Amino acid sequence: MLEIMENVDIRDYTTFKVGGKFRYFTKLSDTLELLALYEFAKEKKLPVHILGGGSNMVFPDGTFECVVVKIEFCGFELIAETDEYADLKIGAGENWDYVVECAVEVNLSGIEAMSAIPGTCGATPVQNVGAYGQEIKDSLVSVDVYDTKDNKFKTLSKVYCEFSYRNSIFKGEAKGRYVIIAVTLRLSKGLPKIPNYPGVKTYFIEKSINSPTLFQIREAIIEIRKKKLPDPKEIPSAGSFFKNPIVDRHIAHELKMKYPELTTFPTGDDLVKIPAGFLIETAGLKGRDFGAVSVYPNNALVLVNNGNATRADVEKVRDQIIRTIFEKFDITLETEPEFV
């Protein structure tokens, strides 16, 4: 039976610990409850907001006038299997890192570089989550959804999702239309690819590992991330706060000439990805304490809540960093977390 709570503290359900109250809040573990949920929202004349792990959102300081739903649809199902791959359907509410752990345990590759990313499985297609050269779109087959417009359960293909860098149809034209119920991934039984990133290469060189196993790659990613990212249970944050900007190769070349230590990543079509963390650190902002909010000393991409930060505090620091980077590099940074 659908149980709905009122005036729930937002900070209890987000990793950044910023925000006031959810007007209404509920948890769903049964897809059949979706119909009752939307009837309730219609009755209250309020929109529905879907919440996964609460790791990539910044909520208002006052009352968030929505019916907020924490998705807890769980389970794994083997859909298809060949000698080369296995297709797994995974409940949207499953913890993402647990999904990666399970895949690695049965020697299935394709998502190991995304180890230790906070949040739920259902949130990964929304932002086309990625790390160390892997993105969810590379493994995704389809997404099972509830279509609130047509009032039907559907399966959406990867092509329909319109994936791009940290973006998808779920953040664009179809924002708010679909409730993600499950995600189907195609994972490989072949040898894993070693992420082509300096930090990962250095890790294996230092440990004298020439041909790392799937487990060793996951272990490396977790260790590297622990050094670079704060544990949200101890230090509130929203993870990586800024997207890596994608610029014209001529701009990247000019930056490389000025900063030879800069590592760039070609993305095709004469475009190049620039590490936002490098820009922020070069601008002298890494570790900067702005009062209620700081730039994390171990990773310039991360903003941390020093205790009682408000959304206004976060917005002020965000805007200052964006302005500083634009003035120094003529590049405009974009945020990863959604400000709702």
The half-sphere exposure of 297 on its side-chain side, counting CA atoms within 13 A, is: 3
Burial class for 6, CB neighbours closer than 10 Å (0-12, 13-18, 19+) = exposed
- Active site (annotated) includes residue 11: no
Whether 205 and 244 share a structural domain: no
Cβ pair 6, 23 in contact under 8 A: yes
Burial class for 162, CB neighbours closer than 10 Å (0-12, 13-18, 19+) = middle
- Active site (annotated) includes residue 218: no
Cβ pair 138, 184 in contact under 8 A: no
Asked, for residue 318, whether it belongs to a domain, the answer is: yes
Whether 183 and 207 share a structural domain: no
d(CA 72, CA 28): 6
Asked, for residue 205, whether it belongs to a domain, the answer is: yes
Whether 81 and 57 share a structural domain: no
Domain of 17: which CATH number?
3.30.43.10
Return the amino acid letter for 251.
I
- Please pick, among 101, 254, 336, 338, the residue that the annotation labels catalytic: 336
- Active site (annotated) includes residue 166: yes
Cβ pair 29, 40 in contact under 8 A: no
Asked, for residue 273, whether it belongs to a domain, the answer is: yes
Whether 210 and 279 share a structural domain: no
Whether 334 and 242 share a structural domain: yes
Asked, for residue 132, whether it belongs to a domain, the answer is: yes
Per-residue pLDDT at 22:
98
Domain of 84: which CATH number?
3.30.465.10
Rg (CA), the chain: 20
Burial class for 205, CB neighbours closer than 10 Å (0-12, 13-18, 19+) = exposed
Asked, for residue 242, whether it belongs to a domain, the answer is: yes
Per-residue pLDDT at 268:
79
d(CA 296, CA 294): 6
Per-residue pLDDT at 232:
85
- Residue 45's region, left for phi above 0, alpha for psi from -120 to 50, else beta, is left
Residue 108 CB partners (closer than 8 Å, separation 6+): 86, 88, 187, 188, 189
**Tens digit of pLDDT per residue, the chain (340 long)?**
789 999 999 999 999 999 999 999 999 999 989 999 999 999 999 999 999 889 889 999 999 999 999 999 999 999 999 999 999 999 999 999 999 999 999 999 999 999 999 999 999 999 999 999 999 999 999 999 999 999 999 999 999 999 998 899 999 899 999 999 999 999 999 999 999 888 899 999 999 999 999 999 999 999 999 998 998 889 999 989 999 999 999 999 999 999 999 999 888 789 999 999 999 999 999 999 999 999 999 999 999 999 999 999 999 999 999 999 999 999 999 999 999 9
Whether 253 and 335 share a structural domain: yes
d(CA 6, CA 22): 7
Residue with tokens 């991409």: 301
Asked, for residue 193, whether it belongs to a domain, the answer is: no
Residue 112 CB partners (closer than 8 Å, separation 6+): 100, 103, 104, 134, 192, 214, 217, 218, 221
Whether 57 and 129 share a structural domain: no
Number of structural domains, the chain? Answer: 4
Domain of 326: which CATH number?
3.90.78.10
Q: b/e string for 246-284 if b means 16 or more Cβ within 10 A?
A: bbeeebbeebbeeeeeeebeeeeeeebbbbbbbbbbbbe
Work out the angle between the directed axes of helices 198-206 and 214-228 (0-180°, nearest 10).
110
Per-residue pLDDT at 146:
97
Would you mind telling me the total number of residues written for the chain in this entry? 340
Asked, for residue 112, whether it belongs to a domain, the answer is: yes
User: SS3 of 320, please?
Assistant: helix
Whether 46 and 105 share a structural domain: no
Per-residue pLDDT at 223:
96
d(CA 254, CA 337): 29
- Please pick, among 115, 139, 142, 240, the residue that the annotation labels catalytic: 240
335 strand-pairing partners: 242
- Please pick, among 166, 218, 288, 318, the residue that the annotation labels catalytic: 166
Whether 64 and 84 share a structural domain: no
Could you list the residue range(s) of the whole structural domain that residue 306 is in?
237-339
Per-residue pLDDT at 64:
98
